[in-house]
Amino acid sequence: MIKFTTEDLVRYLYNETSEQKTAMIKAALQSDWNLKETYENLVKSQKDLNEIEFSPRRESINKILDYASKRHTPVSSH
Q: Which of 12, 13, 29 is nearest to 21 (CA)?
A: 12
- Residue 76 domain-assigned? no
pLDDT tens sequence for the chain (78 residues)? 789 999 999 999 999 999 999 999 999 999 999 999 999 999 999 999 888 888 889 999 999 988 888 876 666 665
Which pTM does this prediction carry? Answer: 0.65
- Residue 1 domain-assigned? no
Cα gap 25→10, rounded to integer Å:
11
| DSSP letter assigned to residue 43 | H
DSSP reduced 3-state for 77: coil
Helix, strand and coil percent figures for the chain, each rounded to 5: 70, 0, 30
Range of the domain at 22: 6-71
- Residue 78 domain-assigned? no
- Residue 33 domain-assigned? yes
- Residue 39 domain-assigned? yes
Q: How many domains is the chain built from?
A: 1
